[in-house]
A and B are shown apart, each in its own frame.
Chain A
Amino acid sequence: MMNKLIFGRYIPGDSFIHTMDPRAKLIASFYFIGIIFLANNWQTYAVLAVFTLFAIFLSKVNIRFFIRGIKPLIWLILFTVALQMLFTQGGEVYFKWGIFTVTEFGVINGLFIFCRFVLIIFMSTLLTLTTPPLDLSDAIEYLLRPLKVVRFPVHEVSLMLSIALRFVPTLMDETEKIMNAQRARGVDFGEGSLIQKMKAIVPLLIPLFVSSFNRAEDLATAMEARGYQGGEGRTKYRVLHWHLKDTVVMLAFVALTAILIFIRS
């Protein structure tokens, strides 16, 4: 069930992208999503596509996994593209039926949106495939630091984030285990009518909640026993290092922005 999901998982490696600073990767990914809206003609999309493919090439991860990462979202993408195609006015009219019109602008817009989706998914998949979740949460903690000024609980949020990330696989395992145990007791998951399906979830959900409560209690006790008293006065074990190549990547993004602004129509 969850095994098919590629998006949001990490593949260990030691490529150029893998060894980048997670802060640089995080900033770059968000920045990329921002500048993708600068693109408005074929040349700009071509530049972005080449840039994305080059990044994927640098990560040494097989491109098949990126393509597979799109699969769960393909219906959402196609739906949006179809809406764009059917309802955009302007340009040469190819086809008209009731309120639906397929026009030149519509088709072009639809294709642009498709490109936009695919590029964004590729870039964010690249981020998660090459960055361990804990590094990501470290990066988020660092980047949220300025918010301390407005009394935002940065340490608490990042602690929750890293604990949550740490327990995603554990909870997944637990879910699978309980599911198996209930299936062995004759529960059919995902079969029958909607109501039956929802009823079948109860024997999975309750034990999962109960074990989460127990786990939280145990974890809190264990943390206190090891002297945890909150964020004040703590030192860091994992220290992030910003290297030359991170600066280079940032500069590449600046250059990319310049090119986009120059060739957009």
Chain B
Amino acid sequence: MDIRFEQVDFTYQPNTPFEQRALFDLNLMIKEGSYTAIVGHTGSGKSTLLQHLNALVKPTKGKVMIGDRTILPETNNKNLKPIRKKVGIVFQFPEAQLFEETVERDIAFGPKNFGVSDEEGKRLAKEMLTLVGLDESYLARSPFELSGGQMRRVAIAGVLAMEPEVLVLDEPTAGLDPQGRKEMMGMFQKLHDERGMTIVLVTHLMDDVANYADHVIVLEKGKIVKDGTPQSVFEDIDWLKEKQLGVPTAANFAEKLIAKGMSFDTLPLTAEALADDLLKELKAGVDL
């Protein structure tokens, strides 16, 4: 399922003294099966953009096409549920959305809203809980007695249980320890690779962008300033530094090697790519 934005504008509280424009004439395309990363400073409109992806807000101008549905400014708020089922959003700090008595019921809450039976809900809860790395003993526990990291997992499982085609993640690893962060990113990667899930990731971590994404959208003040593959976006390191967006660690290191006289065919973005390139150079007999 593709998601397409055509000349999308969005203004908060239009026609009031508190009017604030958040998105300016956005054109973008999220292809089915892609892993898209959206980066930009705080307040660049990333979260506003996210809410357009499953019609939580409607554009004030332009149109958003989600699969075969088109969302226009005048689109009725009814019958948007099918879209919400197909596009699951994990918001920032999703542990704040837990409310049920048990983990099982909380995970099954989403699917049940979309008409899934109790049995099926239970099955999904069990499956998703293992998927996010917790065992079945957690099913009967209250979500409020879990640790922060476990709550986060349960919340994510609750979104995954709706079996969305597109998974939108707003800084899913913020506030997690390095191990948890790695596990979680690995899990999303697996969902993308094995189940063909389309993933949209909002993040400040350029290493994650370089490691996982195949498409990057850079937002600034509500406008798209760059859009392309990670390679093409990260190519211009000076531009990134000027925009204070951060550079992947590997690319940063490669840049230092270039300053010392080394050369690469393409700028390596990940540790693996850097290691491969260095190995090649070594084999070619270059004296480091």
Which positions in A face B, CB cutoff 8 Å?
3-4, 6, 9, 11, 62, 65, 68, 174, 177-178, 180-188, 202-203, 206-207, 210-211
Partner pick for A6 among B16, B97, B110, B158, CB 8 A cutoff: B16
B99 interface residue, CB < 8 Å from A? Answer: yes
Which residues of chain B have a CB within 8 Å of any CB of chain A? 12-13, 16-18, 51, 54, 56, 81, 84-85, 88-89, 91-92, 94, 96-99, 109-110, 113-114, 144, 158-159, 162
Instruction: Please name all residues of chain B whose beta carbon is closer than 8 Å to the beta carbon of A188 when the two chains form the complex.
Output: 81
Q: Which residues of B contact A182 (CB under 8 A)?
A: 97
Given known A-B contacts A3-B16, A65-B17, A203-B109, A186 and B99 have beta carbons under 8 A apart: no
Pairwise interchain contact A178-B84, C-beta atoms closer than 8 A: no
Contacts of A184 in B (CB 8 A): 54, 56, 84, 88-89, 91, 159
List the B side residues contacting A68 at CB < 8 Å.
16
Q: Which among A62, A174, A185, A206 is the interface contact of B113 at CB below 8 angstroms?
A: A185
A6-B16, A185-B84, A206-B99 given; 5 more Cβ-contact pairs under 8 Å: A3-B18, A65-B17, A181-B96, A184-B159, A185-B110
CA distance A174 to B51 in the complex (A): 15
Residues on B with beta carbons closer than 8 Å to the beta carbon of A181: 89, 91, 94, 96-97
Chain B neighbourhood of A3, CB < 8 A: 12-13, 16, 18
Report the minimum CB–CB distance from A36 to chain B (whole Å): 27
A177 touches B91 (CB 8 A): yes
List 6 contacting pairs A-B, 8 Å CB cutoff, sorted by A: A177-B91, A177-B96, A178-B97, A181-B97, A186-B110, A186-B113
- In the assembled complex, the CB of A193 is this many whole angstroms from the nearest CB of chain B, namely 15
Nearest chain B CB to A87's CB is how many angstroms away? 38
Secondary structure class of chain A's binding surface, majority of residues: helix
Give every chain B residue within 8 A of A187 (Cβ-Cβ): 113
Q: How far is the CA of A185 from the CA of B162 in the complex (A)?
A: 8
Q: Which of B84, B97, B98, B158 has the most CB of A within 10 A?
A: B97
- Distance in Å from the Cβ of A133 to the closest Cβ of chain B? 15
Shortest Cβ distance from B89 into A: residue: A184
Complex Cα–Cα for A124 and B162 (A): 48
On whether the beta carbons of A186 and B81 are closer than 8 Å, the reply is yes
CB <8 Å contact, B17 and A207: no
Chain B min CB distance to A15 (Å)? 14
Residues from chain A with a CB closer than 8 A to the CB of B110 are: 185-186
Q: How far is the CA of A187 from the CA of B98 in the complex (A)?
A: 13
Residue ID in chain A nearest B51 by CB atoms: A180
Taken together as a complex, chains A and B put the C-alpha atoms of A177 and B96 apart, in Å, by 9
